[in-house]
Amino acid sequence: MPFADSSFDAVYSFEATVHAPSLAGVYSEIRRVLKPGGVVGIYEWVMTENYDDENVAHRRLRFDIEKAFGISNMLTVSETLKAIESAGLELELHRDLAVDKDGLDYAPWYWPMSGNLSYANNAWDLLSALKKNRWSVKLVSGVLGLLSSVGIAPMGAKKMLDVMGKGADALVTAGNQEIFTPMYLLLARKPTSSSALRHTK
């Protein structure tokens, strides 16, 4: 990042660092720009510990999510925690907000893409769910294909929407199986001790 060392008291990332080629690399860069004692809050996309890399269906879901949303290599929770540690940040809190709801009974994060309209509480919720569910995506995909064929929409627009639709389906399935969460909260701090500050990457 184009910032000097120890530039910031705090850093936050909301569903962004998952797009970096290396979590350890981007977390190290965050550590570099933080002042000693500075805090970082990260809202991360991760595969949960229920994810099994030996399971072909799990791997397919992960690949479809990665492909649709521009992710080079999504890590598991434990791998993400190791990346924080290897970057020299001291982890203070971590939890999956999709599971740890503090006793609240709210809709699963993936419901607007699932086609299940029963969670809609108002007209805005209903509209949001209708425009994101698979049938709406299929309809728009057909229209885009037609518009592309006559030169109105860019070539590849339909293909891109189809990839995104497949990714959305994978999000719903992976969320329902609890092998993926887009809501993993990490809170860490840059150490203040001189020995910790000499941490090497």
Q: Please state whether beta strands 8-14 and 180-189 pair in parallel, antiparallel, or not at all (unpaired).
A: unpaired
Residue 75 sits in a domain of what CATH number?
3.40.50.150
In order along its 201 residues, the chain shows pLDDT tens digits of 899 999 999 999 999 999 999 999 999 999 999 999 999 999 999 999 999 999 999 999 999 999 999 999 999 999 999 999 999 999 999 999 988 767 666 778 888 888 777 777 888 878 877 777 667 777 888 888 888 888 888 888 888 888 888 998 999 999 999 999 999 999 999 999 754 544 444
Q: Show the domain range for 55.
A: 1-99+178-201
On whether both 171 and 185 belong to a single domain, the answer is: no
On whether both 92 and 132 belong to a single domain, the answer is: no
Question: Into how many domains does the chain fold?
Answer: 2
- Write down the pTM of the prediction: 0.83
Burial class (CB within 10 angstroms; exposed 0-12, middle 13-18, buried 19+) of 103: exposed
On whether both 8 and 90 belong to a single domain, the answer is: yes
148: tokens are: 């592309």
On whether both 132 and 196 belong to a single domain, the answer is: no
The C-alpha atoms of residue 5 and residue 101 are separated, in whole angstroms, by: 37
On whether both 83 and 54 belong to a single domain, the answer is: yes
On whether both 182 and 170 belong to a single domain, the answer is: no
On whether both 125 and 150 belong to a single domain, the answer is: yes
